[in-house]
């Protein structure tokens, strides 16, 4: 049965999973012609989109094409799924498959998933005997654990070239000095060294690499703020925006591009003098941090920047084209739209979270700016 075949695919990967003799009993029950000369190869597919949401027709077509391809090359398969993410495939046959045949199998899988979801595919070495199949699986898992250091949609095999190890050294001081001296080429050079060092043979966990990049991005952000340049959107809803950006990167190459992109953005704005008027920058930062307070007022803002209310209002309007109250209202509605996109928040609570003590007034303001009521907007977003 399919269930038994799936169980056997798991046991070939991890024989101890079912207890003593479990694998042999399943092989006998399924009447499979396994012998000492039967060759096994483990394929692991890591789908970065949950398997349950992938189009069934596409997956069925891929399965049919893959099975036909295996049959044409004298191979069979057992497969199962794990955690709505992994597909475990055990290829087996009477003779040792040639390397080009195995490569064509992984290419077919990669082509099938391409355009449907991002993925990694790891292939273990060929081994003989069911009792040794776990060795192929173990190598495939090891390769998959290193997938963080490769581009998405990569196929990793026993022949994947290991990267030459480089000593990992903390270059944050050099990075900071180059930023302080506004040496773009040097800043990018240090970022490149960080990337190559983190991606080499040094035994780093993905969490450690993310921590490293967070430090460098944080240092870049410090210099940006000192020049009145905003590289991240700051607000109470998304207060950890730098960390969120880091966590959205599922591979080291994506982290590398994130840091490099922010460096280019920083120097581009620096060279063009895009940094805002320092007072306006301070005002916006103050509003972003305190917009949830219903009592927030112009005198609060003027006190924060140590200037008169009339001067603050005139300066802000001249620099932005908006009054302080218009900017604050637009910002509050923008923040409420983010919260409305999350069904965990009740609409009644959202108004107070964005600085409205009167829910009816919030709804009227929202409709005036967005053209929909908060509930209509949520329904549209979540449909």
pLDDT digits (tens, 9 = 90+) for 364-382: 999 999 999 999 988 887 7
Give CA–CA dist 92/103, Å, rounded: 15
Q: Which fold has domain 2-156?
A: Alpha-Beta Plaits (3.30.70)
Beta-bridge partner residues of 88: 44, 80
Candidates 1.10.3720.10, 3.40.640.10, 1.10.10.60, 3.40.50.150; CATH matching 278-382: 1.10.10.60
How is the chain split into domains, by residue range? 2-156, 172-271, 278-382
pLDDT at 275 over 80: no
Rounded CA-CA distance 322/74 in Å is 72
Question: Between the CA of residue 229 and those of 171, 221, 305, what are the distances in Å?
Answer: 24, 9, 18
Residue 122, beta-bridge partner list: 44, 156
Q: Which of 3-7, 164-168, 241-245, 303-307 has the lowest mean pLDDT?
A: 164-168
Distances in Å between the Cα of 273 and the Cα atoms of 270, 276, 292, 315 are 5, 8, 31, 18
pTM of the model: 0.71
For residue 186, what are the contacts with CB-CB under 8 A and spacing of at least 6? 174, 178
> Using CA atoms, how far apart are residues 313 and 326, in angstroms rounded to an integer?
11
pLDDT band for position 84 (cuts 50, 70, 90): very high
Query: Token pair of 363, please?
Result: 């709804």
- The backbone torsions φ and ψ at residue 346, rounded to the nearest 5 degrees and listed phi first, read -80, 145
**Distance (Å, rounded) from C-alpha 99 to C-alpha 105?**
10
- Is the alpha carbon torsion for 331, 333, 339, 345 positive or negative? positive
Distance between CA atoms of 86 and 50, rounded to whole angstroms? 9
pLDDT tens digits for range 102-145? 999 999 999 999 989 999 999 999 999 999 999 999 999 999 99
**CA–CA gap between residue 85 and residue 78 (Å, rounded):** 17
- How far, in Å, CA of 36 to CA of 285, rounded? 70
Both structure tokens of 375 = 């509930």
pLDDT at 162: 66
Task: Supply the pLDDT for residue 281.
Answer: 80
pLDDT band at 233 (very low <50, low <70, confident <90, very high): low
What is the C-alpha end-to-end distance of the chain, expressed in Å?
39
CA triplet 133, 139, 143: central angle to 5 degrees?
Answer: 145
Same-fold call for 2-156 versus 278-382 = no
Q: Is a pLDDT exceeding 50 seen at residue 43?
A: yes
* Residue 372: burial class (beta carbons within 10 Å; 0-12, 13-18, 19+): middle
Confidence label for 339 from pLDDT (cuts 50, 70 and 90): confident
**Cβ proximity of 81 and 87 under 8 Å:** yes
In the predicted structure, residue 238 carries a pLDDT above the cut 50? no
CA distances from 98 to 73, 108, 164, 316 (A): 10, 16, 28, 71
pLDDT tens digits along 152-169: 999 999 988 666 666 677
Q: Which helix (H) or strand (E) holds 288?
A: helix 278-290
pLDDT at position 235 is 44
Cα Rg, the chain, nearest whole Å = 28
> Across residues 275-285, what is the average pLDDT?
80
């Amino acid at each position: 049965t399919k269930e038994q075949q799936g169980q056997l695919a798991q046991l070939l990967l991890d024989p101890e999973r079912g207890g003593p003799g479990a694998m042999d009993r399943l092989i006998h029950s399924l009447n499979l012609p396994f012998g000492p000369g039967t060759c096994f190869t483990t394929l692991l597919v890591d789908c970065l989109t949950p398997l349950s949401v992938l189009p069934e027709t596409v997956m069925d077509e891929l399965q049919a094409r893959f099975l036909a391809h295996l049959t044409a090359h004298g191979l069979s398969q057992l497969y199962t799924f794990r955690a709505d993410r992994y597909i475990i495939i055990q290829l087996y046959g009477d003779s040792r498959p040639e390397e080009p045949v195995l490569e064509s199998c992984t290419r077919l899988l990669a082509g099938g998933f391409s355009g449907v979801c991002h993925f990694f595919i790891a292939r273990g070495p060929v081994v003989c005997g069911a009792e040794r199949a776990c060795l192929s699986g173990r190598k495939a898992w090891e390769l998959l654990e290193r997938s963080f250091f490769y581009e998405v949609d990569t196929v990793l095999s026993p022949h994947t070239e290991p990267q030459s190890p480089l000593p990992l050294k903390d270059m944050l001081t050099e990075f900071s000095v180059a930023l302080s001296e506004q040496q773009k080429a040097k800043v990018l050079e240090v970022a490149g060294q960080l990337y190559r060092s983190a991606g080499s043979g040094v035994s780093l966990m993905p969490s450690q690499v993310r921590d490293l990049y967070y430090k460098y991005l944080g240092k870049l952000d410090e210099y940006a703020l000192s020049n009145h340049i905003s590289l991240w959107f700051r607000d109470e809803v998304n207060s950890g925006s730098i960390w969120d950006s880091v966590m959205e990167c599922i591979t080291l190459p994506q982290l590398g591009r994130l840091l490099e992109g922010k460096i280019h953005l920083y120097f581009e704005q620096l060279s063009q003098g895009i940094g805002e008027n320092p007072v306006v920058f301070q005002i916006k930062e103050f509003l972003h941090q305190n917009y949830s307070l219903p009592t927030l007022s112009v005198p609060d803002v003027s006190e924060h920047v140590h200037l008169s209310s009339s001067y603050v209002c005139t300066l802000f309007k001249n620099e932005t084209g908006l009054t302080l109250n218009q900017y604050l209202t637009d910002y509050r509605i923008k923040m409420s739209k983010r919260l409305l996109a999350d069904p965990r928040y009740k609409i009644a609570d959202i108004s107070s979270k964005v600085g409205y003590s009167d829910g009816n007034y919030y709804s009227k303001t929202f409709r005036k700016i967005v053209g929909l009521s908060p509930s209509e907007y949520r329904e549209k977003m979540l449909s």
